Amino acid sequence: MRRQPILGMAMLACLLLASTGYALLPDFTKEELIQKSEAIVLGTIQNMSSSWASDRSQIYTYVTFAVEAQFKGQPVGHEMIIQIPGGTADGVTQWVSDVPHLEPGMRVILHTFLQDTGYPWIYGWEKGVLRVEHDAVPDYNMTLDQFRRLVEKVEE
Q: Say how many domains are in the chain.
A: 1
Any domain includes 81: yes
Range of the domain at 96: 26-155
Any domain includes 14: no
Any domain includes 17: no
How far is CA 47 from its chain centroid? 16
CATH number of residue 88's parent domain: 2.40.50.120
Nearest Cα to Cα of residue 125 among 144, 92, 102: 102
Any domain includes 7: no
Any domain includes 48: yes
Q: How far apart are CA 75 and CA 52, in angstroms?
A: 29
Any domain includes 3: no
Q: What is the pLDDT along the chain (156 residues), one digit of tens a residue?
A: 455 555 545 444 444 444 333 446 677 889 999 999 999 999 999 999 999 999 999 999 999 999 999 999 999 999 999 999 999 999 999 999 888 999 999 999 999 999 998 999 999 999 999 999 999 999 999 999 999 999 999 998
pTM: 0.82
Task: Based on DSSP, count helices (H) and strands (E) in the chain, helices before strands.
Answer: 3, 10
Any domain includes 21: no
